[in-house]
């Protein structure tokens, strides 16, 4: 196996492992509840209570999503490299 194909295959396997790792991080972190503050019930005051901040996902879920995106970028780059390589042209033939 040529050296570049071995490197591309290794990168593809590593990117797949990164995607699986990110999926595991997301699945583990999504089991933990996220506190949104006061979200229900009838208010006895005319004041609107809203949670402090805009965190609708846990920070660990964001890390997992970024790890998945990193793995997908590596997979796409490796697939593009493997599909975009052209076979060496023989003398006297036209490139396709």
Q: pLDDT tens for residues 27-85? A: 888 775 655 555 556 656 666 656 565 556 778 888 999 999 999 999 998 888 888 77
By CB atoms closer than 10 A (0-12, 13-18, 19+), residue 78 is buried
| 7 is a domain residue | no
Q: How confident is the model at residue 19 (pLDDT cuts 50, 70, 90)?
A: very high
Q: How confident is the model at residue 14 (pLDDT cuts 50, 70, 90)?
A: very high
**Separation between Cα atoms, residue 56 and residue 39, nearest integer Å:** 13
Cα-based distances in Å from 52 to 29, 36, 49, 57, 90: 21, 8, 9, 14, 67
Question: Quick one: pLDDT at residue 60?
Answer: 85
| 13 is a domain residue | no
Please give the tally of structural domains in the chain.
1
1 pLDDT above the threshold of 60: no
Question: Quick one: pLDDT at residue 7?
Answer: 86
Question: Quick one: pLDDT at residue 42?
Answer: 61
3 state SS of 70: helix
- Half-sphere exposure in the Cβ direction for 30 (13 Å, CA): 9
Domain of 76 in residue numbering reads as: 24-31+60-81
């Amino acid at each position: 196996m040529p050296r570049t194909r071995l490197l591309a295959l290794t990168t593809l396997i590593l990117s797949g492992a990164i995607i699986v790792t990110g999926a595991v991080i997301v699945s583990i972190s999504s089991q933990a509840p996220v506190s949104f503050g006061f979200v229900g019930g009838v208010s006895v005051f005319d004041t609107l209570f809203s949670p402090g901040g805009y965190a609708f996902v846990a920070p660990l879920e964001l890390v997992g999503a970024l790890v998945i995106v990193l793995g997908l970028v590596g997979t796409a780059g490796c697939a593009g490299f493997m599909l975009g390589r052209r076979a060496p042209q023989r003398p006297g033939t036209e490139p396709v």
